Amino acid sequence: DAKTTQPPSMDCAEGRAANLPCNHSTISGNEYVYWYRQIHSQGPQYIIHGLKNNETNEMASLIITEDRKSSTLILPHATLRDTAVYYCIVRVPTKTSYDKVIFGPGTSLSVIP
């Protein structure tokens, strides 16, 4: 029951940009899109998040479409250390006053030398 859909796997050549897509067609107007990654069974690591505008930090850029139904995470110069599972998540309302997040299967990104 994840609210996001991502391709199960992608390859990217080392040094090239990795563009990871995510669909979140049922996103609500005040829900943020979050991206995390998990490198080989380590704890997930926060990458970036955004609401409407494109965002950039030292790790990646996040491009959100104008209708907010999809987004793309961009790793500008992928390295072998970027090989990981990338999760795109949004909040899911619950019956309580607190929302929660659901991690889907994510995209397994393989950076190839």
Among the listed residues 89, 56, 90, the one whose alpha carbon sits nearest the alpha carbon of residue 74: 56
Query: Is residue 34 a contact point for another protein (CB under 8 A)?
Result: yes
- Minimum distance from residue 88 beta carbon to another protein (Å): 13
Among the listed residues 50, 103, 113, the one whose alpha carbon sits nearest the alpha carbon of residue 82: 113
Query: Is residue 86 a contact point for another protein (CB under 8 A)?
Result: no
Query: Is residue 10 a contact point for another protein (CB under 8 A)?
Result: no
Cβ-based neighbour number of residue 90 at 10 Å: 22
Give me the residues that bind another protein (CB under 8 A), please. 34, 36, 38, 41-46, 49, 85, 87, 91, 94, 96, 98-103, 105
